[in-house]
Amino acid sequence: MDILSQYSMILLALACIFGFFMAWGVGANDVANAMGTSVGSKAITVKQAILIAMIFEFLGAYLAGGEVTSTIRKGIIDPMIMAETPHYLVYGMLAALLSAGTWLAIASARGWPVSTTHSIVGAIVGFAAFGIGFDTVSWGKVGNIVMSWVVSPVLAGTISYMLFVSVQKLILQQENPYERAKKYIPFYMFAVGFLISMVTFLKGLKHVFKDIGMKLSMGESMFYSAIVGVIVAIFGAYLLSRIKRDESKEGADRFYNVERVFAILMVFTACAMAFAHGSNDVANAVGPLAAVVNVVSTGVVGAKSTMPSWILLLGGLGIVAGLATFGFKVMATIGKKITELTPSRGFAAELGAASTVVVASYFGLPISTTHTLVGAVLGVGLARGIGALNLNVIGGIFLSWLVTLPAGAIMAIIFFTIFKAVFGA
């Protein structure tokens, strides 16, 4: 307690700086994943993606970011083991934020889409296992996270593959693709509205509902999501009716007008995915920050801690800053380098990713937003044949995934040791 009281202002200042740095990394890497398919397919521009993310990522993070420190609540470590040495938990969370943020900065500079969740988890596992004790870590939970490296991309890739094959058979391979697109796209719009609403109800807004003493069952979530789906389909059909067919462009590109129709869908998915992502993944940055604030303020280690609104505000601002300054590199990887994306392909990838989040939420499977989106893009590419994929880029991405956990862990051990030396053991 003496150490915490003596250095309280310095520790809180470092926590805010490192928390913002980590949120910046989330924006530069994870948010860029969510926007990459929309930008790569040319449905929206980079500036429009940043604007959408600024609004919807921030709203998701600030309005529905959660009230408890997500990382501790998930049971990766048992913080009560550090009840006698609460300053170790503070050092550890500072080290985790700094190491995860550093790894995300390195990966973003290289254009690697890595998992922010795995970055922070690796960092926490590293400081806890080697700085406190091997038994501090819930290795079963870590095993589940490793399993998600396979589960989420395979599931998203399979769903996206089937979605794009349906687009090919129902629309693109027909003699009159434009008319078929006008006919079938409202049904896809319903699916977009339904699934994105399910993501938001199941993941994004659960803390808001908890605040007001409300809990939606799976059936209720499906009912309200179906209503949203119908509204989206009706509004989308209205927008489609306003598109004027430019037949002069179809000589060079038979699907020119069809892709213009699909581009409308991508705007819907980009906005909704940004909100759902902001509400879900901001916890990677603000969870450890809230833990530090709680321990420094009270001097006591607790499994749960309050999430003040200013912390969510800090996280939201960091996310927007990261996307605006460095997000273009990862957006280029997701949107252009894995496989060539058009609005119809990008739509299948985003809807496949959203579907995976819903399925995983229902069954309680651990997933990574990054791995899900990369898998979805791979699935769309495979629907066109293995030759449509850039295997060198894919190999680099997979290697970066394998390195993420140990990289976060090693850096966290180093930073944890430095903090002990500077502030005292």
SS (H, E, C) 30-82: HHHHHHHHHHHCCCCCHHHHHHHHHHHHHHHHHHHCCCCCHHHHCCCECHHHH
The predicted model gives 190-215 an average pLDDT of 74
What are residue 77's phi and psi, to 5 degrees?
-130, 160
Whether the Cβ atoms of residue 82 and residue 301 lie closer than 8 Å to each other: yes
Q: Which tens digit of pLDDT belongs to each residue from 289-319?
A: 888 888 888 777 765 555 677 887 888 888 8
The predicted model gives 398-414 an average pLDDT of 89
Exposed, middle or buried: residue 236 (CB in 10 Å: 0-12, 13-18, 19+)? Answer: buried
What's the confidence (pLDDT) of residue 307? 65
DSSP annotation of 383: T
Strands (E), 36-194: none
Parent domain of 250:
2-423
The predicted model scores a pTM of 0.80
The predicted model gives 227-245 an average pLDDT of 88
Residue that wins the pLDDT comparison between 9 and 54:
9
For residue 16, name the pLDDT band (cuts at 50, 70, 90). Answer: very high
What's the confidence (pLDDT) of residue 65? 57
Whether the Cβ atoms of residue 87 and residue 296 lie closer than 8 Å to each other: no
* Count of structural domains within the chain: 1
What's the confidence (pLDDT) of residue 211? 66
Residue 216 predicted with pLDDT over 60: yes
Task: Report the 10 Å Cβ neighbour count for 62.
Answer: 18
The predicted model gives 76-90 an average pLDDT of 80
The predicted model gives 242-266 an average pLDDT of 83
Point out the least confidently predicted range of 191-205, 213-227, 391-405. Answer: 191-205
Q: Which tens digit of pLDDT belongs to each residue from 154-174?
A: 888 999 999 999 999 999 888
For residue 105, name the pLDDT band (cuts at 50, 70, 90). Answer: very high
CA distance 172 to 181: 8
For residue 97, name the pLDDT band (cuts at 50, 70, 90). Answer: very high
What's the confidence (pLDDT) of residue 69? 41
Percent of the chain residues past pLDDT 90, beyond the cut: 16
Q: Which tens digit of pLDDT belongs to each residue from 345-367?
A: 888 888 888 788 777 766 666 67
CA distance 36 to 333: 8
CA distance 73 to 102: 24
Beta pairing partners, 241: none
What are residue 137's phi and psi, to 5 degrees?
-90, 140
Reduce the DSSP state of residue 390 to 3 states and report it: coil
Residue that wins the pLDDT comparison between 208 and 82:
82
